[in-house]
Structure 1
Amino acid sequence: MADTRENSPLETVRANIAAKCRIARRAPEDVTLVAISKTHPAGAIEPLLQQGQRHFGENRVQEAQGKWPALREAYPDAVLHMVGQLQSNKAEDAVATFDVIHSLDRPSLLKALAKAMDKAARQVPCFVQVDVGQEPQKGGCAVQALPGFLAKAREMDVPVAGLMCLPPADIEPAPFFALLHKLAKDNGVEGLSMGMSGDYETAVMLGATHVRVGSALFGERG
């Protein structure tokens, strides 16, 4: 008798990523799925950990500090990504708490992170957030300022993992993903953090190395 059980949300997202990778002639293991667990309690996160998911994203330092120590004790190979806007005065806490930062977007934060990493003797890879949609309210380095900003990051010994973007809402995201891909290539960086629950498949087709998926895994927040 055929197995009629529905796939779990995690299995479905993984299968979708693998399918798009096949079309794009990419290896599925080249795409890191970051499960966006912000606002979700430890009880909602643990089932994904039990299914083998290891990369998770939080957008607030204090929230991550509250719920992840116990989870990391149980799953020491979990990798925690900072995906929200980061205040410079939280740089030390972020460096101590997170393994990857996706929202390096301005000189003051770069300076604060460089100082925090030096103090902690801990290098945390950072994605530089680029304002591809020219939306100042979202934060992000201006496209024209990107080469200089990347040079400054390297000069200050802050490891650059790649570029990140948040395309404008309710607009076809593909051109923005393609722009980020071109900017990464032009500036000699490889990582591309782009794509969320509604558009991660498009992002994979256009070269994403990290997709940040929340509601497709956890359901809509109340």
Structure 2
Amino acid sequence: MTISSPDPATTSSPVSERIEAARRKIARACRIAGRDQAGVTLTAVTKTQPDAAIRAALEIGQRVFGENRVQEAQAHWTALRKEFFDLELRLIGPLQTNKAADAVALFDVIETVDRPRLAEALAVEAQKQGRALRVLVQINTGEEPQKAGVLPADADPLIAQVRTLGLTVEGLMCIPPVNEAPGLHFALLRKIARRNGLSVLSMGMSDDFDVAIRFGATHVRLGSALFGERKPV
């Protein structure tokens, strides 16, 4: 999916200006990396953002959005999905199995599959709802105990198991440790993806997406770069 071009008739707003700036920076990072810009999708992270900010992004042509929590996403998107039919919603936060049914009903892609039990719950719900669910496996590249994601050493068996459940495994996702060079983690994610024949790499956020693009990111998840600093909840 390509980055949507803004409608020239759209009234400028702080959000639209930031999105345009982010698109330019993504384009520049792609040029530096020798990549086609069409191979990088901008995922706008709308966690804690007000409806006005989300509508401003929609008005400038942004159509791919990431949410961290199922309940908050339902409040944002249940009505908007009826108005904007070309949305792609991606769950980028940890998911509990008791929210699997709601997640399958709302999201197009679940980026945070990190354990067999969750994959099994999603597969059951996808079958019940008649949906062909697309998923990414989240890798805890930094092996941080407080962070979600399967450990790198356990990634291959989990990917294989998820595939047997009938879920469409498109790729991998990671969130590098804050105080470490992100490139090392992006390189590791790319290595795991390649040996498993996966093409989608969701990696890179507002502070490091240019590095992620250099290491092959297909999806970059930007929140504060588009909407400003998040308000605490």
TM-score (norm: length of structure 1): 0.95
CA distance in structure 1 between the aligned counterparts of 2:67 and 2:164, rounded to whole angstroms: 28
CA distance in structure 1 between the aligned counterparts of 2:145 and 2:136, rounded to whole angstroms: 18
Of the three residues 205, 209, 221, the one matched with 1:196 is 205
CA contact (8 A) 1:104 1:128 kept: yes
Q: CA deviation at 1:121?
A: 1.1
* Deviation sequence 1:138-197 (CA, Å, 0-9, x none): 111111111111111111111111000010012210110011111111111111000011
Of the three residues 163, 172, 187, the one matched with 1:163 is 172
* Deviation sequence 1:67-88 (CA, Å, 0-9, x none): 2122222221111110100001
Match of 1:12 in 2: 21
CA distance in structure 1 between the aligned counterparts of 2:216 and 2:89, rounded to whole angstroms: 22
* Deviation sequence 1:183-220 (CA, Å, 0-9, x none): 11111111100001110111011100011100000000
Of the three residues 69, 83, 105, the one matched with 1:74 is 83
CA distance in structure 1 between the aligned counterparts of 2:67 and 2:192, rounded to whole angstroms: 26
Of the three residues 112, 115, 119, the one matched with 2:124 is 115
CA contact (8 A) 1:127 1:162 kept: yes
CA distance in structure 1 between the aligned counterparts of 2:124 and 2:133, rounded to whole angstroms: 12
User: Mind listing any 5+ residue stretches in structure 2 that lack a counterpart?
Assistant: 1-11
CA contact (8 A) 1:46 1:71 kept: no
Match of 1:33 in 2: 42
* Deviation sequence 1:12-69 (CA, Å, 0-9, x none): 1111111111121211111110000011121110011100100011111111111212
Match of 1:42 in 2: 51
SS of equivalent to 1:160: strand
What's the Cα RMSD here? 1.4
Does 1:209 pair with 2:218? yes
Match of 1:137 in 2: 146
CA distance in structure 1 between the aligned counterparts of 2:23 and 2:53, rounded to whole angstroms: 18
Q: CA deviation at 1:131?
A: 1.0
Match of 2:6 in 1: none
CA distance in structure 1 between the aligned counterparts of 2:186 and 2:201, rounded to whole angstroms: 9
User: Mind listing any 5+ residue stretches in structure 1 that lack a counterpart?
Assistant: none
Of the three residues 91, 98, 110, the one matched with 1:101 is 110
SS of equivalent to 1:8: helix
Match of 1:220 in 2: 229
Match of 2:191 in 1: 182
CA distance in structure 1 between the aligned counterparts of 2:170 and 2:56, rounded to whole angstroms: 28
CA distance in structure 2 between the aligned counterparts of 1:136 and 1:86, rounded to whole angstroms: 17
Letter in 2 for 1:20: A
CA distance in structure 1 between the aligned counterparts of 2:77 and 2:202, rounded to whole angstroms: 22
CA distance in structure 2 between the aligned counterparts of 1:34 and 1:85, rounded to whole angstroms: 17
Identical counterparts, % of pairs? 50
Q: How many pairs does the alignment contain?
A: 218
